[in-house]
Amino acid sequence: MAQAPARAASVVRLFDAHCHLQDPRVLAVAPSLIRAATAAGVARFAVNGTSEKDWHLVKQMAEEYPWVPERSPDWMDSLRRFFAETPEAAVGEIGLDKGSHGKTIDFGEQVEVFQQQLELAKELNKPVSVHCVRAFGDLLEILKRTGPFPAGVLLHSYLGSAEMVSSLENLGCYFSLSGFLTGMKSTKAKKMLKSVMKYVASLLEISEIELAEVTYKNATKLFSYHGSKVHNEVEAV
């Protein structure tokens, strides 16, 4: 979890629920990216690790403000040690993939590893960031078998069916949306998402600004587990 630098007050606060600022392709310019995002209203960032090789970079990122199918034989022991040494870390990203990348990895093996990671997250009472591509039926089955998850599960870039939402929500899931939802140009995507925001706000009988604040609070709640930077900041207020 990375905290953005202090910024001027803004009407709408944003929480980037899933990013990879430790990626070698952007690591060198991460400080400028953070400053630009902060100026645009992003108050917090959830930086997700991708393998054992970048866990230390995620930790470093939090202290300072792609797809990897390989793992070592003692990866679970390494993961436990990492959480013991870094209590502020959440679990993720983890998940299932039947897309072009995922097809190269045995799906049974994906399920086995994912199950173990979920069980560890539940044992440690940590929130989880989940990656899922064309495997939402399998995902729901595994979450039902392992859950519920009081600490929360973030399904980033959610592309599952609307019918699954209530079942996933009952298990402790949160949802974030991305441009993959639209397949549109940026301007069209923004227009569509704004219309969705208006619709949800009307259902809840609140303003769009209030809905944005509720969304921000939901993300803050998800990442305010004991030991996290968000938790410590909330406790200090």
Amino acid at 196: V
182-201: b or e for each residue (b if 16 or more CB lie within 10 Å)? eeeeeeebeeebeeeeeeeb
119-136 pLDDT, tens digit per residue, is 999 999 999 999 899 999
pLDDT of 64 reads 52
* Share of residues in the chain with pLDDT > 70 (%): 79
- Report residue 230 as tokens: 């968000």
pLDDT of 222 reads 77
Is 231 known as a binding-site position?
no
For residues 225 and 87, the answer to whether their CB atoms sit within 8 Å is: no
Rounded to whole angstroms, the Cα distance separating 14 from 158 reads: 18
Ramachandran bin of 227, using left for φ above 0, alpha for ψ from -120 to 50, beta for the remaining angles:
left
Amino acid at 217: K
* pTM (2 d.p.): 0.60
pLDDT of 62 reads 62
Bridging pattern class, strands 42-47 and 2-3: antiparallel
Average the pLDDT over each of 8-22, 43-57, 70-84 and give the range with the smallest value. 8-22
Return the CATH fold of 90-176.
Answer: Transcription Regulator spoIIAA (3.30.750)
pLDDT of 193 reads 64
Is 56 known as a binding-site position?
no
Burial of 105 (0-12, 13-18, 19+ CB in 10 A): middle
Q: CA torsion, points 65, 71, 73, 75, in degrees to nearest 10?
A: 30
Q: Check whether 8 has a pLDDT greater than 60.
A: no
Domain ranges of the chain: 90-176
30-69 pLDDT, tens digit per residue, is 888 888 888 888 878 888 887 878 777 777 666 554 344 5
Burial of 107 (0-12, 13-18, 19+ CB in 10 A): middle
Best mean pLDDT range from 9-13, 190-194, 211-215, 227-231: 211-215
Is 101 known as a binding-site position?
no
Burial of 7 (0-12, 13-18, 19+ CB in 10 A): middle
Is 156 known as a binding-site position?
yes
